[in-house]
């Protein structure tokens, strides 16, 4: 498509893997991967700002206290006249959030320590606060909120099936080899614990999305002048 892409990660391993795949695909002249916190990304001059920003399951790692900061960074990096940003985020229903925010659960203890699932209302309020000031109105205008949670239940089921089918032949050998390379031994009990933990995680999340205990939304925002979002509207 001719797009040029800048991607951010805090993982050196993920950066290496992404760059290897980018080279294999022949896109190293179009895509760069930065080892960088989103708050440290320099704000370019207007003409060099980003036309589009895409965030995939990043917001869950931001934390409730930094949501406004996150969207302020988005506002500063996005072109001020025609920019569009899309966020995919797992969410917590409004009715469950108060209890959730004051308690612990399996995922935050064993899978994603420090994770936080916001509500849709929190996201919209943070977008408004992060893109406005006391004297200027919000510049990030919500365009749509699409719930894909029911589809994610099937996704988790397929992930679990693939995980279980591949475990003995691919995942277990790679796991043991990786630990050996780091100088640690992974015994059969450790392998079984790893397997059961992730099997439970997939089942846990599948049940959450199937019962709407968890949500998953695609939230699109744009500048007032982002008329390209109307291209598919019959006039």
pLDDT tens-digit profile of 113-150? 989 999 999 999 999 999 999 999 999 999 999 999 98
Give CA–CA dist 123/196, Å, rounded. Answer: 33
Give CA–CA dist 195/197, Å, rounded. Answer: 6
Complete domains list, the chain, with CATH: 1-36 (no CATH), 48-235 (3.40.50.150)
According to DSSP, residue 84 is labeled E
pTM higher than 0.85 for the full model? yes
Phi, psi torsion values for 170, nearest 5 degrees: -125, -50
- Name the nearest CA neighbour of 6 among 25, 22, 26: 22
- HEC letters along 162-213: HHHHHHHHHHHHHHHHHHHHCCCCCCHHHHHHHHHHHHHHHHHHHHHHHCCC
Name the residue with tokens 């997939």. Answer: 202
* pLDDT tens figures, 187-225: 999 999 999 999 999 999 999 999 999 999 999 999 988
């Amino acid at each position: 498509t001719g797009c040029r892409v800048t991607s951010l990660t805090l993982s050196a391993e993920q950066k290496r893997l992404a760059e290897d795949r980018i080279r294999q695909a022949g896109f190293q002249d179009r895509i760069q991967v930065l080892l960088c916190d989103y708050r440290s990304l320099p704000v370019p001059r207007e003409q060099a700002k980003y036309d589009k920003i895409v965030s995939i399951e990043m917001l869950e790692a931001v934390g409730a206290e930094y949501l406004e900061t996150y969207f302020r960074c988005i506002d500063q990096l996005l072109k001020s006249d025609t920019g569009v940003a899309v966020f995919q985020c797992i969410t917590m229903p409004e009715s469950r959030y108060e209890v959730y925010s004051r308690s612990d659960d399996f995922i935050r203890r064993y899978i994603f320590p420090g994770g936080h699932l916001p509500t849709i209302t929190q996201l919209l309020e943070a977008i408004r606060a992060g893109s406005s000031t006391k004297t200027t109105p919000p510049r990030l205008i919500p365009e749509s909120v699409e719930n894909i949670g029911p589809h994610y239940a099937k996704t988790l089921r397929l992930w679990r099936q693939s995980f279980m089918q591949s475990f003995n032949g691919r995942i277990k050998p790679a796991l043991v080899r990786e630990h050996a390379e780091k100088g640690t031994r992974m015994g059969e009990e450790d392998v079984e614990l790893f397997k059961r933990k992730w099997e439970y995680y997939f089942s846990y999340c599948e049940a959450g999305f199937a019962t709407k205990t968890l949500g998953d939304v695609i939230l699109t925002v744009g500048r007032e002048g982002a008329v390209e979002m109307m291209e598919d509207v019959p006039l």
